[in-house]
Amino acid sequence: MAEALIVSTDRAATAAADRSALETVLVVPNMHCGACIRTVERTLLAQPGVRAARANLSARRVTVTTERVLATTEPLVVALAGAGFAASPLASARTPPDSAADSAYLRRLGVAGFAAMNIMLLSVSVWAGHGSDMPQSLSTLFHWLSAAIALPAVAYAGQPFFASARQALAARRLNMDVPISLGVVLATGMSLFQTIRGSEQVYFDAAVSLLFFLLIGRYLDHVVRRRAAGVAQNLLGLQGTEATIVGPTGVTERLTVGKVLPGMRILVATGERVPVDARLLAEEASIDDSLITGESLPRTLRAGDPVYAGSINLGQPWQAEATSAVESTLLSELARLIETAQQGRSRYVRLADRAARLYAPVVHILGAITFIGWMLTGHGWEQALTAAIAVLIITCPCALALAVPAVQVVATGRLLKSGIIVKAADGLERLAEVDTIVLDKTGTLTLPEPRLADHGAVPDALLKAAASLALASRHPYARAIVGAARERGVSLAPLTGVREIAGAGLETTGPEGTTRLGSAAFCQVAAGNVDVATLWMSMPGSPPFAFRFEESVRSDARSTVEKLMRAGYEVELLSGDQHGPVATAARSAGIARFMAQQKPDQKVERLTALSSLGRRVLMIGDGLNDAPALAAGYASLSPSTAADISQNAADAVFQGEKLGPVVETLVVAKAAHKRALENFAIAVGYNLLFVPMAMIGLVTPLIAAIAMSASSIAVTLNAMRLGLQKKERLL
């Protein structure tokens, strides 16, 4: 056979769950910074039975790998509570609090904004009055009015930061909200003290403006985080909540989707979403499964075809037989894959996390140095404290903490809309760095479902024998033989003792000898060079028989290859098929370099050779058939049938009948890489510019508040640009 079907690989083995361990996802809503990540992970790793803990700041979740003997998450939740973090299992976390949190942030943002504007008006009046000999009593009155507005506004709008800081200090740890709260409290307290004294060193406007801008950044941060969790949750929400079940007597009953079991007959009305994965019982159905495939055009199904949860019935009502429970549907699997990818941390995220972990001690040290330095140089404590407050405010690492997670979330969501599921946390980074693309032919460059040519001329007995053997394989040619047999109405039963040999085919041994289905060499046939895709079958006592297949190159293969070449990528074709069909496919797609009759180990050798030349190779192949090659590539992408999504070894998979998603994936990966670097530059440049200025007194607390908050807003908006840009502008 042209390619091996299922081959174990290091990457596949790594992706497979350890049977002696369990993975649990906990939601930790009050995790705000790199210091929080370190504390959460360290607390969990200290618990008996915990093998690994991986926190994700963007999604505010932590994935915990535990021994199977740890049957409950309660000890983990209790341990985190002791460290000052409220936690709950993902299964019990609900989405409504997100809406409530949005409303709470907006209310506090409104109060802070209203107070800041009014205090600013009073402050401007005072500043202007100094130039026109404003009476001291009027200036003092304005300060007291500012205090009357600022104190309740700070007490209300600052609650998210104060509560977080209080929890951290109660657990004897630091997070980024501690110096923020300290800066706000010191600025407000010092301003009140100076107002009582009748001094002009009053910074109520700075304290309230800081909270205003912080709340803008925190609100945008919250929106991005909600999107991170919402991508998967939105998928599950599209499954529907109820299903119409048709009983044995034809009586219908509405059940919640959680009560639908495999084997039940479901009725799907016009315009209704399919509640669970099922097998179509009607002769024909028109559906919109763009949610699964990324294809916007309706698709026509025939009796026996699979239909997936979330698809919409566009035609007449029809019935189907449920093939899975709600927790086992393809949408549920997609949601799990997305959550797994988002829980992982890329190289950039790990770098940002390490930098953010240093934040709390460094900030307090810089603040202390600033205060002591100003005092030693003979300045009063008011100026020293003002400069220290500016340092505390300016050094908030919000921008650094958001720099990469925000980009990851936006990029993942954009690709998902095109039917592309990113499975590896660092997949986008590696995809952005590739310079060579190697494609497989069958099911990748060509459509995934070839047809058996002239199958009407194949005797029933021979077709039945071949199809019974082919049932053991997921290879496209094997599925084509099985499909032809079922179209003819041939009854099939899987054979026992079938072996699949990598890059060769299938064989089974019986009393009469060995029966084989695969390549000419495997079946010991001197076939010579052939121009069409062929699969041979050899049986004891019978002459070899050639099954010939009709393959179609994907409709946009040539245009896609041309775009990739114009972008500077080297493109090659590697296939296990005969030279003739491979050459034909290569010519159709406009690929000059191709290699035929390549076994899986030879494909790996070619990829290794390219890597030794310094090339970073993207391998695009069937997730099952090309597992070794996918694992050998610097990055990997797989066109996959819906049922194969969770089984392949690729970094990302795409759905649909076009090759265009390859371009979309690379374009978004490069754009995400660019946005991440831009965000790093914004975060680092901001600190390099403003921290020294704050330490030497050139930045007031008000300017520090504006600058710090502006950097957080800048990186978030910069990340969101990725989702707003048109594809043409990204090319």
Give the residue numbers marked as catalytic: 440
Report the distance separating Cα 504 and Cα 491, nearest Å.
26
Query: Closest Cα partner for 63 from 75, 55, 72?
Result: 55
Read off the DSSP letter of residue 47.
S
3-state secondary structure at position 88: strand
- 365 Cα distance to chain centroid: 37
- On the 0-12 / 13-18 / 19+ scale of CB atoms within 10 A, 566 is exposed
Report the distance separating Cα 691 and Cα 282, nearest Å.
69
Task: Determine contact, residues 254/84, Cβ cutoff 8 Å.
Answer: no
Tokens standing for residue 581? 């069909």
3-state secondary structure at position 603: helix
Would you tell me how many other CB atoms lie within 10 Å of the CB of residue 256? 12
Strand partners, 307: 278
Provide the CB-side half-sphere exposure for 336 (13 A, CA). Answer: 12
DSSP E strand stretches across 162-289: 242-246, 252-256, 265-268, 278-280, 284-288
C-alpha to C-alpha distances, 577 to 2, 441, 447, 520, 671, nearest whole angstrom: 5, 8, 15, 10, 36
3-state secondary structure at position 437: strand
Query: Closest Cα partner for 504 from 485, 478, 481, 530?
Result: 478
Task: Determine contact, residues 209/706, Cβ cutoff 8 Å.
Answer: yes
Task: Determine contact, residues 549/578, Cβ cutoff 8 Å.
Answer: no
Tokens standing for residue 124? 């401007």
Would you tell me how many other CB atoms lie within 10 Å of the CB of residue 717? 12
